[in-house]
């Protein structure tokens, strides 16, 4: 019957040309509508992408500046430094023996900071902008250039100031003795005398190329994107991703960097170095116009413009008025709007293919239609019959399955339909990592394969347990002894994983299953290695880099928020501490993203009094903001927890 229906429809269309034309017009209108909607969607997606990248870059820069401003304030408030500076301010003759003794004492006092805090130089400036003390003796008595002193003298009003990067010849008059061709970032803090009056400004200089500029190396969107900083003159204050091209064009000499030398303007004419006569790029010009109002501002440019290489790009910017600093993120037009270009070129082919698919779809192999149909209970996947669905995530479904020949039960995890190929690769990577581990408390992987439509799956050990978050939601906070036993087991698992050269990076209650037998013996399993990372550089691939910023905020170590690549055993220690906090209090502690000065977690005792001696201190140490203040390893933390349990047992707790 079906062939006759198709034959009748074809004859009808042949005889009714007008109807065919109308259908063609409707199809064309639909195609245009679809194109415009896709274009809008792609542009909105690019807007959100640029906004998120700019937000991450801005938070990293802000956190870095705030931490080092606090360090400058700490040294400015040092009683010995304040006394020496007060004496130098009161001395009329900087070359006198007494003044020389104070200079020597100042340099001796600040010497540890140069080494411990990676400082390049330190000096003190009086209220007239004259250097009255410096780690470089030849600079004492010199005066700062007016533009620099104009920014620094706000510290005389009690502010901590960030300035830079600057070359020394842009900061000081006269011949240079050190750091002549190196840009420095400066952190200035007021120095008070005994009466609390501000008498001078302490300035600490750091190498911009090795510290400040590194912050912008993390955010390199795609293959053509980059993040950079710029000043009020439109000068780049960080490294360029394309410095090799700039050197090949003759804009820099071999060995020179873009930091402080590259003016951000399109190369319509001969682009000199460290000059600012021509108009800057559209993004920089827009940021500087907004910055002229001396307030923070930001913007996004989705219409392509020419960058300093002359390439069409789109970008986003933020102006930090207090620091007189701009931050930008750019990515090429070709990479950004590639979906639109492809759609524009192949739109007609797509519509014809759709028309053919509508008529001939029922005759196509079922495998083409199954790609978007989820796997269901009762189906066969590999050697397993799927009995029932037991879990679901953003990327995969989990079924309880039975091996048809062996009768062995297993948890079968199958990727959902319609996902990108990159998700398939990430899923297979997770399975291989789990299969490489041999530990009683990590679910063993039995096999990995593909279902009929090509989606990957893997079968792993089935564990009849309940996730810790469900246990706590149902029963409330755990008793201290039970919580300690669970934490010791989790420490053992994570220590083993790290000893194998892998960092889990997603330890949280949802990923830990728990069961107990009639005797009360606990059994624990760690699951979900989707964010795991091998510490072997040879295993680092694009997929690993893309998940660097992911994780659950309540269990994410602070250093990973600042530097996503900073993942080691002490980050796992922090996650175990956060897990212990949750098990004992029934609440998660999430740090404030707006406070970047090193916020410490509240003590467990502030939420729930503990009977086990030392347990509160063990959890607190694991959750320290500075990772060098935490337990050095999960093994060390497990030992401390075991000591707490032994002490509690001996005291009858």
Catalytic residues: 506
> Who's near 540: CB < 8 A, 6+ residues apart?
533, 534
C-beta atoms surrounding 641 within 10 Å: 26
Exposure of 634 in the CB half-sphere (CA atoms within 13 A): 27
Phi first, then psi: give them for residue 414, nearest 5 degrees.
-125, 130
Phi first, then psi: give them for residue 318, nearest 5 degrees.
-140, 135
Nearest residue to 623 via CA among 562, 573, 552: 573
| 82 Rama sector, left if φ>0, alpha if ψ -120 to 50, beta otherwise | alpha
User: How far apart, in whole angstroms, are the C-alpha atoms of residue 588 and residue 600?
Assistant: 14
User: How far apart, in whole angstroms, are the C-alpha atoms of residue 42 and residue 504?
Assistant: 34
Exposure of 579 in the CB half-sphere (CA atoms within 13 A): 28
Nearest residue to 351 via CA among 340, 343, 363: 343
Q: Where are the alpha helices (DSSP H) in 182-264?
A: 243-248
User: How far apart, in whole angstroms, are the C-alpha atoms of residue 89 and residue 92?
Assistant: 8
Long-range contacts of 613-620 (CB under 8 A, 24+ apart): 613/644, 613/647, 613/648, 613/651, 614/640, 614/643, 614/644, 614/647, 615/480, 615/484, 615/584, 615/641, 615/644, 618/580, 618/644, 619/577, 619/580, 619/581, 619/584, 620/577
Q: Where are the alpha helices (DSSP H) in 203-305?
A: 243-248, 282-291
**Length of the chain counted residue by residue:** 653
Q: Token pair for residue 581? A: 């906090």
Give the SS3 label for residue 78. Answer: coil
> Who's near 254: CB < 8 A, 6+ residues apart?
247
User: How far apart, in whole angstroms, are the C-alpha atoms of residue 151 and residue 139?
Assistant: 20
Nearest residue to 235 via CA among 308, 174, 334: 308
Phi first, then psi: give them for residue 31, nearest 5 degrees.
-65, -45
Which letter, b or e, does each residue of 488-503 get, where b requires 16 or more Cβ atoms within 10 Å of its Cβ? bbbbbbbbbbbeeebb
> What is the tally of helices (H) and strands (E) in the chain?
19, 20
User: How far apart, in whole angstroms, are the C-alpha atoms of residue 74 and residue 70?
Assistant: 6
Q: Which helix (H) or strand (E) holds 526?
A: strand 522-526
User: How far apart, in whole angstroms, are the C-alpha atoms of residue 186 and residue 176?
Assistant: 17
Q: How far is CA 22 from the centre of its chain?
A: 53
Q: In what order do the strands lie in the sheet with 226-230?
A: 226-230, 325-332, 312-320, 297-306
């Amino acid at each position: 019957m079906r062939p006759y229906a198709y034959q009748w429809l074809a004859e009808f269309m042949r005889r009714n040309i007008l109807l065919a034309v109308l259908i063609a017009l409707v199809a064309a209108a639909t195609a245009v509508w679809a194109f415009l909607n896709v274009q809008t969607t792609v542009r909105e997606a690019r807007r959100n992408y640029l906004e998120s990248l700019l937000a991450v870059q801005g938070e990293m820069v802000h956190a870095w500046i705030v931490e080092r401003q606090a360090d400058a304030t700490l040294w400015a408030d040092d009683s010995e430094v304040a006394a020496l500076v007060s004496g130098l301010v009161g001395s009329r003759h900087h070359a006198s023996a007494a003044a020389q003794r104070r200079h020597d004492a100042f340099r001796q006092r600040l010497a540890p900071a140069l080494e411990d805090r990676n400082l390049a130089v330190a000096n003190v400036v009086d209220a007239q902008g004259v250097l009255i003390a410096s780690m470089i003796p030849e600079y004492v008595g010199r005066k700062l250039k007016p533009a620099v002193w104009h920014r620094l003298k706000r510290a005389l009003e009690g502010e901590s100031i960030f300035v830079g990067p600057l070359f020394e010849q842009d900061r000081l008059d006269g011949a240079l003795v050190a750091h002549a061709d190196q840009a420095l970032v400066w952190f200035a803090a007021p120095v008070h005398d005994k009466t609390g009056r501000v008498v001078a400004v302490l300035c600490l200089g750091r190498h911009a190329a090795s510290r400040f500029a590194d912050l912008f190396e993390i955010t390199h969107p795609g293959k053509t994107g980059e993040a950079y900083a710029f000043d009020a003159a439109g000068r780049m204050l960080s490294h360029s991703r394309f410095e090799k091209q700039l050197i090949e064009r003759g804009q820099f000499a071999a060995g020179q960097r873009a930091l402080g030398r590259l003016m951000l303007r399109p190369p319509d004419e001969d682009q000199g170095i460290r000059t600012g006569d021509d108009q800057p790029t559209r993004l920089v010009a827009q940021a500087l116009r907004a910055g002229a109002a001396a307030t923070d501002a930001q913007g996004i440019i989705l219409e392509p413009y020419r960058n300093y290489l002359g390439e069409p790009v789109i970008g986003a910017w933020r102006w930090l008025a207090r620091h007189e600093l701009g931050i930008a993120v750019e990515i090429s037009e070709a990479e950004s709007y590639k979906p639109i270009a492809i759609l524009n070129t192949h739109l007609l082919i797509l519509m014809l293919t759709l028309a053919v698919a509508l008529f001939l779809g029922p005759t196509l192999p079922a495998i083409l239609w199954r790609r978007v149909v989820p796997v269901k209970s009762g189906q066969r996947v590999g050697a397993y019959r799927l009995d029932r669905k037991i879990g679901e995530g953003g990327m995969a479904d989990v079924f309880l399955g039975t091996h048809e020949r062996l009768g062995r039960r297993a948890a079968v995890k199958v990727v959902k339909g319609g996902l990108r190929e990159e998700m398939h690769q990430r899923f297979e990577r997770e399975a291989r990592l789990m299969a490489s581990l041999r530990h009683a408390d990590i679910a063993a992987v039995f096999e990995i394969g593909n279902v009929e439509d090509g989606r990957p799956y893997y079968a792993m050990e089935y564990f009849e347990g309940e996730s810790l978050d469900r246990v706590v939601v149902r029963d409330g906070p755990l008793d201290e002894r039970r919580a300690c036993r669970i934490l010791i087991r989790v420490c053992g698992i994570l220590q083993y994983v790290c000893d194998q050269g892998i960092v889990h990076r997603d330890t949280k209650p949802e990923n830990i299953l728990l069961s107990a037998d009639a005797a009360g013996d606990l059994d624990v399993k760690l699951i979900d290695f989707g964010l795991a990372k091998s510490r072997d550089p040879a295993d680092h691939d694009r997929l690993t880099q893309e998940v660097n910023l992911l994780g659950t905020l309540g269990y994410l170590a602070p250093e990973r928020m600042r530097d996503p690549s900073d993942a080691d055993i002490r980050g796992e220690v922090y996650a175990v501490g956060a897990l212990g906090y949750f098990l004992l209090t029934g609440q998660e502690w999430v740090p404030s993203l707006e406070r970047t000065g090193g916020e410490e977690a509240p003590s467990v005792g502030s939420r729930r009094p503990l009977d086990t001696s030392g347990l509160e201190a063990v959890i607190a140490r694991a959750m320290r903001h500075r990772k060098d203040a935490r337990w050095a390893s999960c093994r060390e933390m497990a030992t401390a927890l075991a000591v707490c349990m032994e002490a509690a047992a001996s005291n009858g707790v």
